[in-house]
Amino acid sequence: MFKKNRIHWKIVNLSKTAATVVLIILIHLLFSFGLEAQGFLKVRQIVIEGNHYTRDHIIFKELDFRSGDTLFLDKLYNRLDLNRKRVLNTGLFNHVEINVTDWDVEKMEATIVIKGIENWFYYPVPILELGDRSVNEWIYQHGAALNRLNIGISFMHINLTGNADKLKLTFHRGFTQKYELDYYFPYLDGKHTLGAFFNTLYVTHNNLEYITRENQLVFTGKDPGKTHLTRFRMRFGLQLRRNQKYKHTLLAEYHHKMISDSIVGLNPRFFQLNETKIRHFSLIYRMLYNNVDFNLYPTSGNKVFLELKKEGIGVWEDLNYFQLTAGYEQHFKYNENFSTQLKLKGRYSLYDERGIPYHYGKALGYFGDIITGYHLYVIDGPHYGYLQTTQKWKLLNTNYDLGRNMPLKNFKVMALQAYLGFHGDLAYVYQPWQTEHNPYNNRLLYGLGLSFDLIVFQNYFFSVEANVNHLGQPGIFLGGSNTFM
């Protein structure tokens, strides 16, 4: 009886073992059949060409595949194109191609060749720039007055040692007087994940925006013999980037600012009440998740942004507030020519009984936070939120060989894309003080617009937009950006 039970147990155990082996074989066959049916390619090696100055690791850092990886054929084109755009996002190349070569059909493996035309890295150029916050404000509100321009010189190298490190030296005079040194080195460690940057800035203003009325900046007017504002800043920061998508930044800043007695008389809350000087440290943390296809003009993917800022850390009592800013972008690409963009962004502030001084209370109308239909207005306040929607329709996508007409080798191939954009925005800014002469605070704002957008050399963006706001005020406005800003 004992032997019979023992034999029975062995048979059951063997049956379970056989079933497990059969199951493993079936899973392997199904997986192999799926690979064969879908089609795949093994990356034998990755060859980089055309980077005469840029180090290879800068390009490899942008890729989401390595030698030995398997790429599915049905997704091969889109994946290689996404990686091509990631390399372009560095701003180090004017043109990038990714090709598959030396294809071994039997082994289903090939070589990936990345070929680029490097950008012009150093720009010792004269400065002729606006002192106003935008070209639209300069034209419409100040009559394109030449005395509101800054003239000087700037030296910028966007790839100083071949490691994508950026050096910028700036000096200009005119509407404002500025001296600035900025250096960023992206890779301090052997894993190429930790970078550092340093900035120091000294600026003086003879013509200063001292208050906001009717949601427009009011200036003192230029007083040649008087300085209304002096600003000094020193900044040190670390940046952690473990992969292509995530970036963490930590900043420590020191600020020292002084204003004239006349500014205090015009706006006692420009700094703290009736104060002519302010000193403080700032601590800032930023997180960026960037999964868009092309930073300058994205049409697919998404982006998440978070900033925590503490102004004043107890060394002096001049300033004390905390701000949380967060944003989200989603880009829906329906086909090669049509896409939709949604962007949400908001800010919440905590402050003591003194509130936030006027000089630090900027919200919408600054730093790229422009609402359609409100290009000529600024809306100040500690809290804000907005929603932007854009429909993008591609009109043109081509490369022009300029040949002998272009003496600079780096710019002989001009990539050119053109889009038509339809914009619809909503916004709200809460302002608990200085609201009696600013009707756009504490109310819902909305605008509609139509734009023609142009991307040149993969690095420069230009836009002309016709729009209207909630009051029915129409306007035609200019915009632009580049990968170096």
- Give the pLDDT confidence score for residue 122 in this predicted structure: 84
- Give the pLDDT confidence score for residue 339 in this predicted structure: 97
Asked whether residue 81 carries a pLDDT value surpassing 70, the answer given is: yes
Closest alpha carbon to 293 in 81, 113, 93, 108: 81
- Give the pLDDT confidence score for residue 17 in this predicted structure: 53
Asked whether residue 447 carries a pLDDT value surpassing 50, the answer given is: yes
Residue 69 forms part of a structural domain: yes
Asked whether residue 91 carries a pLDDT value surpassing 90, the answer given is: no
Q: What is the mean pLDDT of the chain?
A: 89
Residues 248 and 272 in one domain: yes
CA distance 171 to 177: 8
Single out the residue in 102, 118, 134 at which a domain terminates. 118
Other Cβ atoms less than 10 A from the Cβ of 174: the count is 20
**With the C-alpha atoms ordered 90, 91, 96, 102, is the resulting torsion angle positive or negative?**
negative
Task: Give me the domain span that covers residue 90.
Answer: 40-118
Total structural domains within the chain:
2
Residues 78 and 151 in one domain: no
Tens-digit pLDDT profile for residues 393-417: 999 999 888 877 777 777 778 889 9
Per-position DSSP letters for 409-452, written without gaps between them:
GGGSEEEEEEEEEEEEEEEEEE-SSS-TT-TTTTS-EEEEEEEE
Please state, for a pLDDT cut of 90, what percent of the chain lies above it. 68
Question: pLDDT band at 19, cuts 50/70/90?
Answer: low
Residues 294 and 421 in one domain: yes
Say which CATH number the domain at 89 has: 3.10.20.310
Residues 79 and 140 in one domain: no
Q: Average the pLDDT over 167-172 and give the result.
A: 94
Residues 260 and 303 in one domain: yes
Q: Select the more confidently predicted residue: 469 or 367.
A: 469
CA distance 402 to 29: 54
**With the C-alpha atoms ordered 160, 163, 166, 167, is the resulting torsion angle positive or negative?**
negative
- Give the pLDDT confidence score for residue 13 in this predicted structure: 43
Q: For residue 188, what are its two tokens?
A: 């301090």
Residue 14 forms part of a structural domain: no
Rama region for 50: left / alpha / beta (φ>0; ψ in -120 to 50; rest): left
Single out the residue in 94, 118, 142 at which a domain terminates. 118
Q: Average the pLDDT over 289-294 and give the result.
A: 94
Contact present, 448 and 373 (Cβ < 8 Å): yes
Q: For residue 472, what are its two tokens?
A: 């029915």
CA distance 322 to 106: 62
Asked whether residue 23 carries a pLDDT value surpassing 60, the answer given is: no
Contact present, 301 and 291 (Cβ < 8 Å): yes
- Give the pLDDT confidence score for residue 18 in this predicted structure: 54
Per-residue CA distances from 65 to 93, 189, 476 (Å): 20, 21, 44
Considering 15-19, 60-64, 170-174, the range whose residues carry the highest mean pLDDT is: 170-174
Residue 400 forms part of a structural domain: yes
Asked whether residue 30 carries a pLDDT value surpassing 60, the answer given is: no
- Give the pLDDT confidence score for residue 34 in this predicted structure: 46
Asked whether residue 181 carries a pLDDT value surpassing 80, the answer given is: yes
Q: Which residues contact 82 (CB under 8 A, 6 or more apart)?
A: 64, 293
CA distance 258 to 278: 7
Considering 116-125, 277-286, 427-436, the range whose residues carry the highest mean pLDDT is: 277-286
Tens-digit pLDDT profile for residues 254-264: 999 999 999 99
Residue 457 forms part of a structural domain: yes
Single out the residue in 118, 138, 170 at which a domain terminates. 118
CA distance 379 to 382: 10
Tens-digit pLDDT profile for residues 137-161: 999 999 999 999 999 999 989 899 9
Asked whether residue 214 carries a pLDDT value surpassing 70, the answer given is: yes
Tens-digit pLDDT profile for residues 309-320: 999 998 888 899
Please state, for a pLDDT cut of 70, what percent of the chain lies above it. 92
Per-position DSSP letters for 352-415, written without gaps between them:
-TT---GGG---BTSTT---TT-TT--B--SEEEEEEEEEEEEEEEEEEE-GGG---GGGSEEE
Rama region for 396: left / alpha / beta (φ>0; ψ in -120 to 50; rest): beta
Q: Average the pLDDT over 12-37 and give the result.
A: 48
Q: For residue 437, what are its two tokens?
A: 């002469």
Tens-digit pLDDT profile for residues 352-395: 999 999 999 999 999 889 999 999 999 999 999 999 999 999 99
The H or E element containing residue 45 is strand 40-49
Asked whether residue 113 carries a pLDDT value surpassing 90, the answer given is: yes
Q: Which residues contact 78 (CB under 8 A, 6 or more apart)?
A: none
Q: For residue 204, what are its two tokens?
A: 């003086």
User: How is residue 112 annotated by DSSP?
Assistant: E
Question: pLDDT band at 22, cuts 50/70/90?
Answer: low
Q: Average the pLDDT over 199-203 and give the result.
A: 97
In this structure, of 120-124, 176-180, 286-290, the range with the lowest mean pLDDT score is 120-124
Beta bridge partners of 239: 195, 249
In this structure, of 27-41, 113-127, 236-250, 427-441, the range with the lowest mean pLDDT score is 27-41
Asked whether residue 6 carries a pLDDT value surpassing 50, the answer given is: no
Residues 295 and 358 in one domain: yes
Say which CATH number the domain at 326 has: 2.40.160.50
Q: Which residues contact 90 (CB under 8 A, 6 or more apart)?
A: 58, 59, 62, 164
- Give the pLDDT confidence score for residue 183 in this predicted structure: 96
Helix (H, G, I), strand (E, B) or coil at 36: helix
Q: Average the pLDDT over 79-93 and give the result.
A: 90
Burial of 316-351, coded b for 16+ CB within 10 Å and e otherwise, reads eebbbbebebbbebbbeeeeeeebebebebbbebeb
